[in-house]
A and B are shown apart, each in its own frame.
Chain A
């Protein structure tokens, strides 16, 4: 049981390049989330998926697209990276037997030059 996994752990891009951040969970959770965290700030929601086949915008969706490929996987795509997208990206899934809590992946540290 790996929980929530994210790849890659680190990435450096040049302005204008594209990339996809991958996230997978093996806990059979319905809801999944993508956040970004900038220095000194809390997590800001980019997109979320309440169930397989649905996605909704969060607080800061501009410049990103998402795909809920199946129940396990939720990917985040940057089509044309900008320096303002330099951040730590966390994926989470929501579920649990005791609390309906979010479980987080280890994060992807992205730098856009």
Chain B
């Protein structure tokens, strides 16, 4: 079993839709959690950090559930420009970083 697993999708949604991605992790020593966005195999860019209390930034909401060992990303009112690959990443207390394989989102007019 992979240490970090994501639903690969692809997710094809119309503009304005709400879409949710989940990511599960197996190492309970995991300490930090993030969502990154990657466009066309360019370098990943930070989208959001993820906390147990939840983290909201405009149309994006990220949540961490430590008991069930998963993190989620919710995108509301999808825009064409949201089309990208979304990567979750987990960092353990030794600084080791593990990425999921990514979930591809395509937002269509």
A residues near B (Cβ < 8 Å) are 31, 33, 35, 37, 40-45, 48, 50, 56, 58-59, 88, 90, 92, 94, 99-107
Contacts and interface: CB of A to CB of B under 8 A. Distances in A.
Contacts, number: 61
A97 to B, nearest CB: 12
Nearest to A57: B96
Interface in B55-109: 87, 89, 91, 94-102
B101 A41 contact: yes
A43 B46 contact: no
B14 interface: no
B87 A43 contact: yes
B97 A107 contact: no
Which of B6, B99, B101: most chain A Cβ within 10 A?
B99
B1 interface: no
A26 B109 CA distance: 41
Contacts of A37: 41
Given A37-B41, A41-B101, A56 B96 contact: yes
Contacts of B41: 37, 88, 107
B49 interface: yes
Contacts of B102: 41-42
Nearest to A4: B43
Which of A42, A43, A101, A107: most chain B Cβ within 10 A?
A42
A100 B32 contact: yes
